[in-house]
Amino acid sequence: MKLKINDVHKFYGEGDSRVEVLRGIDCEIEDGEICVLLGPSGSGKSTLLNIIGGIETADSGCIDIGDDCTDDMTEAQLTLYRRNHLGFVFQFYNLIPNLTVKENIEVCAYLSEKPLEINDLLKTLGLYEHRDKLPSQLSGGQQQRCAIGRALVKNPSLLLCDEPTGALDYSTSKEILKLIEDINKKYHNTILIVTHNDSIKNMANRVLRMRDGKIVKNYENEAIIPASDLEW
C-alpha cells in the first residue's frame, strides 16, 4: 500500500520555548518499498515515524495510507488504523515478559482477521525451536526476531522499524536486516526503517535524509546491496 506524507508540521512546547520539529514533510513511499530514514539526533525522524504510526498526531498535514487518512482521526479511529495497517518494531523489542515467544506473536495475530500462519512465521524467523521460551531466555537478536514476528503476523501493509538494530551487535544486526529483507520479499510489505546507521541505506529502495525537521534528501537507491553484504 502506498504511503503518502502530506505537508506534516509538528510543534513542541509553548510560547518562547515553542519549537517546530517537523517543518512541512512531503513524500511518498511506494507499495512494497524498503525505505530508510536517516538523520542525526533531533532531526525529527522519530517524531515523523510516530506520526506515521498514529501514536502521535501532526499539528497540520496528514498521512495517507491506502484509502485511510490520519487527518482528524479520533483516538478510536487511530487505534483501528494501527490495527489494520501497521506493524511496529522497537529498538528495545518491548516483548511481554511473561508470555512465551509464540504467545508474544499471538498477541498481534489476535488483532488480525487473517493473520499469517504462526508456525510458518516462527520457522521463517528461526524461532520455532524457541517458541515456548520466555523472552528472558532469549538472546537480543532472538528477542528482536520475535518482535519482528509479532509486528508481521497480522501481515501489515506498513512495517515501521525504529532503530531495529540499535541494541544489537554487528553480526546480529546483519541477521536482523537480512530477515527484514527476506520478509519484504516474501510478504511485500512496505517497510520504513529509522536508523542512525548510514550503511543500512544501501539495502533500501528509497532513502530519506532529514535535518532540522526537513527532508533534505529523498532519492531512489539504484545500487541496492543485499543486507548480508552490508558493512560498517
The CA distance from 143 to 146, in Å, is 5
Contacts of 181 (CB under 8 A, 6+ apart): 34, 203, 226, 227
Site for another protein in 169-228 (CB under 8 A): none
Residue among 17 and 231 whose Cβ is closer to another protein: 17
Query: Is residue 171 classed exposed, middle or buried when 0-12, 13-18 and 19+ CB atoms within 10 A define those classes?
Result: exposed
Binding mask 123-152 for another protein (x = CB under 8 A): ---------------------------xx-
C-alpha cell at 149: 514476528
Site for another protein in 49-68 (CB under 8 A): 50, 53, 55-56
Q: Which of 20, 28, 64, 106 touches another protein by CB under 8 A? A: 106
Name which position in 27, 66, 84, 133 contacts another protein (CB under 8 A): 84
CB of 71 to another protein, least distance (A): 17
- Residue 214, Cβ neighbours under 10 Å: how many? 16
Give me the residues paired with residue 220 across strands: 206
| Residue 108 in contact with another protein, rule: CB under 8 A | yes
* H/E stretch holding 181: helix 170-187
Task: By CB under 8 A, name the binding residues for another protein.
Answer: 50, 53, 55-56, 75-76, 79-80, 82-84, 86-88, 90-92, 94, 96-99, 103, 106-111, 115, 150-151, 154, 167
